[in-house]
Structure 1
């Protein structure tokens, strides 16, 4: 067919259609990606080298910034094209596109994000990352956006998955407002809020929930307001699955009425408000959380027995020690040496022996980074379990340091930390003035309730520390070494 005949045919086809519809079709065709690259393309090594060069170069000019954006798009399996003016880069997929507007000198003016069927909105987080040349963070957001739509099915089903996520976010935000007062502090929300301290999704940054913060982190934030100290966080997202799950596609909290348990009243999952999708909601943690088998079972009970994937059971204390050393950026993550030296002001150095207790099956645990669920009502219960586990982990990790003890030292105060049932453990140590052992049992009942009991030999003198005093000290500082120092100081007053 000749070019003239083809143009005539196109003209007749669209003669009766409004111009706005034609523009919409052209825009859609321009934004349609070429699809994800094959897993092992023949030019893979060359592309990998090019990406490393782009990463090393500090992109400043318009040309270099465009090249960096297009390289990053290819790396994340997305399509990209440049506008005729050469100052706008479009990063596209079937379900969303990002519009990066640049000045002639390569400076970023605006970054807009549009999901399928939605108007584009300016994303301050994307603008900030690109202006700071933080392409790793920008690439992570591209990856997170793509992962939102990794749901089996066509574009319509993927859009339904995104709609389900929006519905969940609206319900969680409504729950966060229920108990909020004007003067409530962030720390109070983190430790006591039904859904912690919730930050809604903005642009490419997913909704996140800060659910636990230690007393030392609170103190650091008060002493250094600009330090941006934050506690344990999880992000809220959706992910494809091999099985169907009934997910809400409309908010289920119609008003602020609450049930007898104080939780919000949810609408029923009718066919109008929900549908079966090959997907489920996720609470994701960037750093895997060491969790006991007991806590994992409790979460799976709350979510209707939805299995948490990729669990590898190991002694819980070994996992806590390993995670603590990793947070301290210690290259030696070996847990074979379980003796740690802890230094405190105005006190002899402490040595803590962490007893893994691996022979007890109920003290096994696993690293958990994803928690699947299907209904917003599950979230408050999950957060309570996570808080409980984090409080327990905080106490155990307070005995872990980067310094190991390999030889006996008469100047050291020796302690042994041994797991007991569920979320309780004991700290054993030599009596300050006698040859017998003393022992403190610490029972972490919830993240806000801790009960301690001091056990001494009947013939040994008191240490001048009541159970109530020790319990209050633990809750105030969440540090075993600090509490042990307080006990020894009180004992010294009796001797004096």
Structure 2
């Protein structure tokens, strides 16, 4: 539990291990100890497709991704407060992003939305979103990193496009809306536009040249 370990480092106050059994972070974010968090969540996107978000149990139910609810933070020195607030804001930013994927309803068995994707943890401050590329039988991955509570960076892999401006644009959207579904709607729409332009260019290049005399 990296978050609890950082609390220990700041306050130098030990937390009994018996109190740190923890649960997978997505389970705590759905605000119900009995919720079946590993099911697919159906999340609507305003003006966009219906999303299906899934948190694979095997990836989240591991010691490094266990989380606990914190209702108070003991400290002994006022000098600890700035560092504690920074840590709490950092974790809050990560929780806010992930909770946007669990704010919908549980999907029925076999029910898949228009835009399905899988959310996997990469570290204590980053995660990946894997989805199907538009008009292609392959996958793409959006890596999301939250290095601090004021900055989120996104990088796209597996779409055959080397465009740093696209990464910057998606990062700007994510920082602005703090929502994975809204960002994925924007990204998917942009990829469809790029795919459409590429198709038109390919058609033009394959068309026979007109002989004008």
Q: Which category describes the TM-score, using the shorter chain as reference length?
A: 0.7 to 0.9
Cα distance, 1:359 vs. partner?
4.9
In structure 2, distance between residues paired with 1:398 and 1:304? 33
Match of 1:340 among 41, 46, 68: 41
Match of 1:396 among 98, 102, 118: 98
In structure 2, distance between residues paired with 1:457 and 1:480? 19
Aligned to 2:2: 294
**Retained in 2: the 8 A contact 1:342–1:401?**
yes
Aligned to 1:354: 55
Change (3 A) 1:464 1:447: closer
In structure 2, distance between residues paired with 1:471 and 1:340? 24
Change (3 A) 1:415 1:358: closer
Unmatched segments (≥5 aa) in structure 2: 198-213
Task: Give 1:132-211 correspondences, 5 Å limit.
Answer: none
SS at match of 1:378: helix
Aligned to 1:313: 22
Match of 2:75 among 368, 373, 379: 373
Aligned to 2:192: 492
In structure 2, distance between residues paired with 1:333 and 1:349? 25
SS at match of 2:156: strand
SS at match of 1:371: coil
Aligned to 2:123: 421
1:309-356 superposed Cα distances (whole Å, 9 cap, x missing partner): 8333222222223x2xx5xxxxx9412552111112221211111224
Change (3 A) 1:451 1:464: closer
**Retained in 2: the 8 A contact 1:311–1:368?**
no
CA RMSD of aligned residues (A): 2.4
**Retained in 1: the 8 A contact 2:141–2:158?**
yes
Aligned to 1:194: none
In structure 1, distance between residues paired with 2:118 and 2:84? 31
In structure 2, distance between residues paired with 1:463 and 1:346? 26
Aligned length: 194
Q: TM-score, normalised by structure 1?
A: 0.37
Q: TM-score, normalised by structure 2?
A: 0.81
1:161-210 superposed Cα distances (whole Å, 9 cap, x missing partner): xxxxxxxxxxxxxxxxxxxxxxxxxxxxxxxxxxxxxxxxxxxxxxxxxx
Change (3 A) 1:306 1:428: same
Aligned to 1:467: 167
Cα distance, 1:305 vs. partner?
3.0
Residue 114 (structure 2) pairs with residue 406 (structure 1): no
The one of the two structures with greater contact order (alpha-carbon pairs below 8 A, sep at least 6) is: 2
SS at match of 1:400: coil
